[in-house]
Amino acid sequence: MNQNFTLKKSKLISDLENKGINNQDILKAIQKIPRELFLSKSFWNKAYDDNALPIDCGQTISQPFTVAYMTQLLEVEKGMRVLEIGTGSGYQAILLHLLKCNVYTIERHKPLYEKAKLFFEHNKLPISCHLGDGSKGLLNHAPYNRIIVTAASPDIPEELLKQLEDNGKMVIPVGDTTSQTMYLITKKDNNFTYEEKGKFKFVPLVGEFGFSE
């Protein structure tokens, strides 16, 4: 990594800490990931800004704070089975892998799926990557200890709740296409608790149990 990236990454880590990201494992994992590799070269100068940036298929790589915040809410532990809805660039999946999770990820855009899968394979990352409708989850590998939804849903898909193991947690942004509330959902003895965790803005979750195309 060049010196400029190193300085910018250090500033980003400091900014994340100032915004309340106190999980050192998450911060160390973010420190390890070269975010510029998930962007076109025209955006490399902004790779360590705390902003969402465009990728292919009209999608985005999420703001680093949002990635770190959602991951911190999940409270993942080594060996947990984690389902990610919306592979996108693959950045979030790699972060979860570095946190020693068994990661399953699903993407509906074929070019993004193919690019991420190739990246995982090239870097020998044991991330299970799938093409399909993320609003339906990934039933054939369920249940999961954690589910993270990286796109805005009009409501909470029942299919995803069914795929959550007991004592499991899910984070999902719910709302319209302009603004959403982040929910942390915890399953205990087949009952669910719902906590609101702030306002965010994501690209829409498109699919049978999401927004229509």
Which residue(s) pair with 47 in the sheet? none
User: What span, in angstroms and rounded, lies between the C-alpha atoms of 210 and 180?
Assistant: 13
57 occurs within a structural domain: yes
Reply yes or no on whether the pLDDT at 3 is more than 80.
no
The domain of 153 spans 52-200
181 occurs within a structural domain: yes
* Tokens at 165, concatenated: 């193991």
Average pLDDT (78-93) is: 98
Average pLDDT (92-116) is: 98
28 occurs within a structural domain: no
Cα 110 to the chain's mean position, in Å?
Answer: 18
16 occurs within a structural domain: no
CATH number at residue 181: 3.40.50.150
Could you tell me the pLDDT band of residue 182, with boundaries at 50, 70 and 90? very high
pLDDT tens column, 7-25: 999 999 999 999 999 999 9
Reply yes or no on whether the pLDDT at 130 is more than 90.
yes
19 occurs within a structural domain: no
208 occurs within a structural domain: no
Reply yes or no on whether the pLDDT at 120 is more than 80.
yes
98 occurs within a structural domain: yes
Residue 62 annotated in active site: yes
Question: What does pTM read for this prediction?
Answer: 0.95
Domain count, the chain: 1
User: What span, in angstroms and rounded, lies between the C-alpha atoms of 182 and 173?
Assistant: 4
pLDDT tens column, 135-145: 999 999 999 99
Q: Is 50 exposed, middle or buried (0-12, 13-18, 19+ CB in 10 A)?
A: middle
Q: Where are the beta strands (DSSP E) in 55-211?
A: 60-61, 81-85, 102-107, 128-131, 144-149, 164-175, 180-188, 191-200
What pLDDT score was predicted for residue 1?
Answer: 54
Residue 172: name the closest of 140, 208, 198 by CA: 198
Residue 171: name the closest of 93, 75, 51, 95 by CA: 75
Reply yes or no on whether the pLDDT at 2 is more than 70.
no
- Mean pLDDT score of the chain, rounded to an integer? 96
140 occurs within a structural domain: yes
Residue 86: name the closest of 204, 165, 170 by CA: 204
- Residue of 10, 14, 42, 62 marked catalytic: 62
